[in-house]
Chain A
Amino acid sequence: MNIVLDVRNLKVYYELGNGVVKAVDNVSFQLYKGEVLGIAGESGSGKSTLGQAIAGLIRPPGRIVGGQILFKGKNLLELRESEWRKIRGKEIGVIFQDPNSYLNPVYTVGFQVAEAVEAHNGGSPKHYIHKAIELLKMVRIADAPRRAINYPFQLSGGMKQRVLTSIAIANKPELIIADEPTSALDVTVQAEVVELLLELKKELGSSMIFITHDLPLLLEIADRIMVMYAGKIVELGSPHHIRNNPLHPYTRGLLESVRYERKAKLKSIPGSIPSLISPPPGCRFAPRCPFANEKCRKIEPSLRQVDGRLVACHLFNEGGNDGQR
């Protein structure tokens, strides 16, 4: 299997006035060619920081304090900014959540797409207006030539997100990082944009990292799902496994909270995420975990292969299936 991205022991910390926030704390995983890896988590899980780190977008007070990000064998963290600029926008494309802040309101949409092409091909954006229209068509914007001369405010939320997508794929990237690309959209628009993303990924032969808090969405579209909590990976497996037999208590909690039952109280995970400045010793989920024991509170569990996927939980330490309720 071809490994496109190999993240090893990545640590991304934010140095703030009142302490150091360990947003991503020793995270390792691999991304295979052509797959959609979903990263699921709530606020404070570190998923967005992880995405930004891979895209080379960490700025002070954030800092990458350790680890490696191997993209096609090269360690991205050793690149200079000038080398980064060659990769970002060309081999790695990024789509963010809020199309309103990522599109410049004073330039036409077509110009901004053309800019993305020009950035890696030299010349001036004017030369690429045809390519820009082609790209707009590729993201299924109807009446692309007319839309190209529209300004962002003339487009709907869904259309703006498609424009952002076309900018991200303008140079046929091998890796597409999508950070909550549809969270700001209506559910029917979301469904369409997601479908578009998956088709594009197939057409371009790219691999995708899809970051979102919407676990049910990932269950539908991801090839593998990585669940993050308080800066760590707690579980990584196929949607089949995660849906039918979630092992980590946090994954179970997440899933239960969206398994709405008719006329029943909603389920939630009691408590809240721990401080990322001084996380609890041992397993970070222990304070909220109904199964936590002494060992959980002292020793941090490491990711281990259990039942066809990876879990970081002492309940599953010996590779067996103990701890299932």
Chain B
Amino acid sequence: MGNDESILILERVKKYFPLSLGLRGKKLYVRAVDDVSLTIRKGETIALVGESGSGKTTLGRIIAGLLPPDEGRVIYRGIDLYNGNVLSKNKELRFKIQAIFQNPDTSLNPRMMIYDTLAEAIRVRNNGLTEEEVAEKAAVLLENVGLNLDHLTKYPHELSGGEKQRVAIARALAMNPEVLIADEIVSALDVSVRAQVLNVLIDVKDKYDLTIVFITHDMGLVWSISDKIAVMYLGRIVEYGDTESVFRRPLHPYTRMLLTSSPTASLIGYYRNDKYKARGEPPSPVNPPKGCRFNTRCPIARDKCFEEDPPLSELVKNRWVACHRALEED
């Protein structure tokens, strides 16, 4: 699982998006990411889990260096990614963190041959290569993602969704990254195709010694490939810990609700409690409720939960939970 070296640290990151409509001139904001701190260690695969409105995609972009936070810092190997223009000035740094996204239809330039898409990345990464060397690297990359060399001369529209996603992975790998953010990379694919893409990810993780941030809403996938899990709700991390430990003994009521509601999680069979059956809807991210954000749907919310917002604390060794009552109703 890699050593204990922390290579990526998020410190109290916040990102708010302004809404143009305001009540009586008061500016309203969507609190997409609302005070998130996280430490990621080299070699681990951490799953960022949540439903719509959780902020996981926004957080993914912030970690990838694509979206400057309004507050807080993202520190990669000691360097603050958003301090000055460090990512545009220091190309080597930019290469180290790469990302792949959800939609296979927009991940590749429709007017460029697959070869050219890869060659562009390869040339940026390596100065002064001959055409032959570029071609060889491109071929190796494609093979690493399980595609045969015919694909080099094809255009994106001639490839299936799963194949396009694998090309996207190949392009990211061309940069020889250390950190890879995978944002819902298989959600748009058929179930049987997902395995192809994810198995490639598992393979290359070892081959390239990657640290992966795996953003998803599918608990089954989390169980299968992640070492750590961070559950997000309305812009905050509400639970964090080892995947196995969290699945066997989820502490936050929302995590319990997620596991109980997910049919795939039930199939795997590690946690299910009808007391935490899904109910209610997430409140507006513009105006979160007073106290704990989950109190509108929580089956065990009481007094303090409506007054005070629980901080993310290490309630149990190596288990972080943002809940006043998690241990009381275990």
Could you tell me which A residues sit within 8 Å of B by CB distance? 42-43, 156-159, 186-192, 195, 213-214, 216-217, 219-220, 243, 253-254, 257-269, 272
Could you tell me which B residues sit within 8 Å of A by CB distance? 51-52, 160, 190-196, 198-199, 202, 217, 219-221, 223-225, 244, 257-258, 260-264, 266-268, 277-279, 281
Q: List 20 A-B contacts (CB under 8 A).
A: A42-B191, A157-B52, A159-B281, A187-B219, A189-B51, A189-B281, A190-B261, A216-B263, A243-B267, A258-B191, A258-B264, A259-B267, A260-B223, A260-B264, A262-B223, A266-B225, A268-B194, A268-B199, A269-B192, A272-B160
Name the A residues within 8 Å of B244 (CB-CB).
Answer: 262
Name the B residues within 8 Å of A214 (CB-CB).
Answer: 263
Q: Give the most central of A195, A261, A262: most B CB within 10 Å.
A: A262
Cα distance, A289 to B169, chains bound together (Å): 29
- Given A260-B221, A260-B223, CB of A187 within 8 Å of CB of B193: no
Which A-chain residue is minimally distant from B224 (CB atoms)?
A: A260
B195 near A257 with CB under 8 A, answer yes
Cα distance, A186 to B257, chains bound together (Å): 12
Question: Would you give the shortest CB distance from B64 to chain A, in whole angstroms?
Answer: 23
Question: Would you give the shortest CB distance from A161 to chain B, in whole angstroms?
Answer: 11
Name the B residues within 8 Å of A261 (CB-CB).
Answer: 224
Question: Would you give the shortest CB distance from A248 to chain B, in whole angstroms?
Answer: 15
Chain B binding surface SS class: helix
B267 near A264 with CB under 8 A, answer no
B224 near A264 with CB under 8 A, answer yes
Name the A residues within 8 Å of B264 (CB-CB).
Answer: 216, 258, 260
Name the A residues within 8 Å of B196 (CB-CB).
Answer: 268
Closest 4 CB pairs of A and B: A268-B195, A216-B263, A191-B261, A186-B51
Name the B residues within 8 Å of A159 (CB-CB).
Answer: 281
B263 near A266 with CB under 8 A, answer no
Name the A residues within 8 Å of B190 (CB-CB).
Answer: 42-43, 213
Which B-chain residue is minimally distant from A156 (CB atoms)?
A: B281
B278 near A258 with CB under 8 A, answer no
Which B-chain residue is minimally distant from A42 (CB atoms)?
A: B190
Question: Would you give the shortest CB distance from A156 to chain B, in whole angstroms?
Answer: 6
B202 near A265 with CB under 8 A, answer yes
Which A-chain residue is minimally distant from B160 (CB atoms)?
A: A272
Cα distance, A190 to B52, chains bound together (Å): 12
Cα distance, A255 to B190, chains bound together (Å): 14
- Which of A43, A158, A186, A266 is the one whose CB lies under 8 Å from B194? A266
B51 near A187 with CB under 8 A, answer yes
A266 near B281 with CB under 8 A, answer no
Cα distance, A44 to B10, chains bound together (Å): 44
Cα distance, A314 to B223, chains bound together (Å): 36
Question: Would you give the shortest CB distance from A306 to chain B, in whole angstroms?
Answer: 24
Name the B residues within 8 Å of A219 (CB-CB).
Answer: 263, 267
A266 near B267 with CB under 8 A, answer no
A191 near B267 with CB under 8 A, answer no
Cα distance, A156 to B260, chains bound together (Å): 22
Cα distance, A220 to B277, chains bound together (Å): 14
Cα distance, A158 to B279, chains bound together (Å): 11
Question: Would you give the shortest CB distance from A225 to chain B, in whole angstroms?
Answer: 13
Which B-chain residue is minimally distant from A264 (CB atoms)?
A: B224
A263 near B195 with CB under 8 A, answer no
Which A-chain residue is minimally distant from B264 (CB atoms)?
A: A216
A186 near B217 with CB under 8 A, answer yes
Cα distance, A260 to B217, chains bound together (Å): 15
